[in-house]
Amino acid sequence: MHLFWEHGYEATSLAMLREAMGLTPPQIYNAFTDKETLFRKALTRYHQTEIGFALEALSAPVPTGEAIRRLLLGAAEAYSRPGKPGGCLFVSGALAASPQAQAIADELKANRKASEAAIAERLAKGRAMGDLPEGLSVEGFAKYLAGVMNGMSIQARDGASVEELRTLAQTALAVFAIEGQKQGASSKE
Amino acid sequence: MHLFWEHGYEATSLAMLREAMGLTPPQIYNAFTDKETLFRKALTRYHQTEIGFALEALSAPVPTGEAIRRLLLGAAEAYSRPGKPGGCLFVSGALAASPQAQAIADELKANRKASEAAIAERLAKGRAMGDLPEGLSVEGFAKYLAGVMNGMSIQARDGASVEELRTLAQTALAVFAIEGQKQGASSKE
DNA sequence: CAGGTTTCGTATCGATCACTATGGATAAAT
DNA sequence: ATTTATCCATAGTGATCGATACGAAACCTG
């Protein structure tokens, strides 16, 4: 998982995986069928071990503002854990791919879309409960938040510290606080 | 350039480049020395033809708020041009790479850092001129803006339309407008 | 202890990678 | 017109990719 996370799907060779896992090639293929299946297993493990913060943040019984605060600050921490590759596997795994690896790229894209959809769902709940500022559209703000998280992932990959990511997250969150202060003001120019 | 932009450095094979350019392998190597040099030429061309908006936005004789507005809205348009790969080559070219392509990945990372530094420079000018809200730090806000642009690049790659990217950009810009409204309020929680 | 079976690591598979040597065709020069 | 020289596409280089065939060792059964 760390290798895929660090180098991406295609750039991670079986030789690297073999050495990291201490297995011989037939053992790998017996256990994981092929490279693509192995990557999907790593993706599942990534879900379970690295990004629980997102589901927790979005499902916690807290106001919407607190939920997205936990989401972004959780991302700041998760994307810069010591000893782990920076950023998010969904982004680093296969942002660009050869035609042969299109299926993997599409799968990661679907994961990113699902993350955005999960945010949108939480925002819609907030809208229904009345604690989403009027000036923010559910879809638009979800895309903004997902975009900020993706951006944080790249900043993390470029070496941003957890403090820098937290500052970035808090700057991004200011939009929420601000739109709440304004009454019905236009969010567009 | 389009191939590198779409598939990234490593996933773009010489066979693809050969077919796209209509050249034979020796012609390619006569003209560009090797794949790495060819990529650098494409990178230079990308600078010249695709992201002029950024330099224009940052060097225009306009208030800081207008400069970053042009920057983000220019990115929204540049990252979703019809007939072009979505997003930014700096991000898509080699976010993750094999050890052999580390030099290319580092070069693109340097480009991203340079973009952030250029934003920071413009913000510092704004601070000096007094039209950067007090609540925003030059470094922190530059990292936020660069992060948002990187995030927009990924959203564009995932198929976001120019309108969606513009909305995202305007949401991000709200931070600037808001921090300007507040007097000396803390930007952190 | 012998036989049959299963497991497992080495050595290698064809395909493709970035890259280049060579032979043939064309142009230039005498 | 004939020789010389220059270009340039085809064909192939070693290396590495993901994936596997085969021989040896181990193990359970009789």
Q: Are B136 and B45 in contact (CB under 8 A)?
A: no
Q: How many percent of chain A have pLDDT more than 90? A: 93
pLDDT band with cut points at 50, 70 and 90 for residue B184: very low
Is B187 part of any domain? no
Decide if pLDDT at A189 tops 70. Answer: no
Is A186 part of any domain? no
Q: Are A114 and A164 in contact (CB under 8 A)?
A: no
Is A152 part of any domain? yes
At residue A83, the pLDDT reads 97
Average pLDDT over residues A132-152: 97
CA–CA dist B16, B2 (Å, integer): 11
Half-sphere exposure of B78 (CA within 13 A, CB side): 25
- Is B14 (CB) below 7 Å from strand C? yes
Question: Could you tell me which residues come within 8 angstroms of residue B61 by beta carbon, excluding any fewer than 6 positions away?
Answer: none
Average pLDDT over residues A155-166: 98
Number of domains in chain B: 1
Residue A134 DSSP one-character state: T
Is A13 part of any domain? yes
Is A171 part of any domain? yes
At residue B183, the pLDDT reads 46
Is B11 part of any domain? yes
Q: Residues 148..187 of A with a Cβ closer than 8 Å to B: which?
A: 148-152, 154-155, 157-158, 160, 164, 167-168, 170-172, 174-175, 177-179, 181, 187
Place of tokens 């513009």: B166
Please count the residue pairs, one from chain A and one from chain B, whose beta carbons lie less than 8 angstroms apart.
Answer: 161
| Range of the structural domain that residue B153 is part of | 2-178
CA–CA dist B64, B133 (Å, integer): 10
Average pLDDT over residues A9-19: 95
> What does R_g of chain B's alpha carbons equal in angstroms?
19
CA angle A107, A3, A9 (to 5 degrees): 30
At residue A187, the pLDDT reads 42
Return the structure tokens found at B114.
Answer: 């340079």
Q: How many percent of chain B have pLDDT more than 90? A: 93
CB contacts of B181 in chain A (<8 Å) are 178
CA–CA dist A50, A88 (Å, integer): 9
Return the structure tokens found at A62.
Answer: 């807290």
- For residue B113, the SS3 value is helix
At residue A186, the pLDDT reads 43
**Nucleic chain D contacts, protein chain A, residues 8-27, CB cut-off 7 A:** 12-15, 25-26
Average pLDDT over residues B165-178: 95
- What value does the mean pLDDT of chain B take? 94
Average pLDDT over residues B112-138: 97
Is A185 part of any domain? no
Q: Residue A57 maps to which CATH number? A: 1.10.357.10
pLDDT tens digits, A29-39: 999 999 999 99
pLDDT tens digits, B34-43: 999 999 999 9
pLDDT tens digits, A77-104: 999 999 999 999 999 999 999 999 999 9
pLDDT band with cut points at 50, 70 and 90 for residue A177: confident
Asked if B44 is an interface residue toward chain A (Cβ–Cβ < 8 A), one would say no
Return the structure tokens found at B98.
Answer: 């094999």
Is A187 part of any domain? no
CB contacts of B147 in chain A (<8 Å) are 148, 151-152, 154-155, 168
Alpha-helical runs (H) found in A79-101: 89-92
- Is B26 (CB) below 7 Å from strand D? yes
Identify the residue whose Cα has the smallest distance to the C1' of C10: A24
CA–CA dist B187, B189 (Å, integer): 7
- What value does the mean pLDDT of chain A take? 94
Q: Are B80 and B160 in contact (CB under 8 A)?
A: yes
At residue B186, the pLDDT reads 43
